[in-house]
Structure 1
Amino acid sequence: MINVAPAIAEAVEAVRAHFAGHSVVVETDGAGGVIVTIDEVIIGPAYTSQSTWLGFQISAAYPDADIYPHYCGVLSRTDGQAHGPAIQHVQWRDRPALQISRRSNHRDPRVDSAALKAERIRRWLADQ
């Protein structure tokens, strides 16, 4: 594990545990936090590809800072509809991506972990 604050290291291990069986790549962000990318996250039949990568930053302010925004590979909806306003086409870490803007305004840092937020984003995508 890379050298980061204990809360961030624990968050990364929780993400690895929650997404067991998936490749989880962790890189330092140069500011005390990390960038996490999870491969082959299942999002279901709403999209032409039923899995994608999911990426996000855990900032040095964690657990007091929300994990926001999240990014995933470029997806097309199977129903042909456009993405809603919470999804935008962007470049993230030098690759085309969708930015998923789902802020947790009433989050509780004692409960709302990086792993839980990633799972919420995955479920939200699957429900679109």
Structure 2
Amino acid sequence: MSALASAITEAVEAIRAQFAGHPVEVVPDGNGGVFVTVEDVSVGPSYAPAATWLGFQISAAYPDADVYPHYVGPLSRTDGQSHGPAVQSTGWRGQPALQISRRSSRRDGAIDSAALKAERIRRWLADQ
């Protein structure tokens, strides 16, 4: 990742620390950013499966740009309910996925890191 901006390299390091013990795949996006996939992320007992991958793109504009949207593998709610309006079935990087649309409208680039946003998305999904 030597050709990547230091902000993106630091973001990836923070994601690896936030999700320590989880495989983290980082693939350059060809435009100065990266695609990140964190494996085996717990989304809790409200879903089957209870763990899935979490994917997102950190654009070359980071940290000035929000990390949005996020994606997870296909999940079913164990209570049979629908996912709600913030979750859409789609694809991501050639595989079936659910898109999680949780934009940070009052985002502060100095505080709201890619790692923090990923954890907030995971927690939000687990709390649904």
Scaled by the length of structure 2, the TM-score of the pair is 0.98
Q: How large is the Cα RMSD of the aligned pairs?
A: 0.7
SS in 2 for 1:68: coil
Q: Structure 2, unaligned stretches of length 5 or more?
A: none
- 1:4 — aligned with what? 4
- 2:104 — aligned with what? 104
- 2:63 — aligned with what? 63
Structure 1 contact 11–114 (Cα < 8 Å) conserved: yes
Runs of 4 or more, structure 1, over 3 Å off, are: none
- 2:45 — aligned with what? 45
1:38-67 CA-partner distances (Å, limit 9, x unpaired)? 000011101011100000000000000000
Determine what percentage of the aligned residue pairs are the same residue: 70
How far is 1:2 from its partner? 4.7
* Distance of 2:72 and 2:39 partners within structure 1: 10
Q: Structure 1, unaligned stretches of length 5 or more?
A: none
Number of residue pairs the alignment of both structures matches: 128
* Distance of 1:92 and 1:119 partners within structure 2: 19
* Distance of 2:99 and 2:127 partners within structure 1: 17
Scaled by the length of structure 1, the TM-score of the pair is 0.98
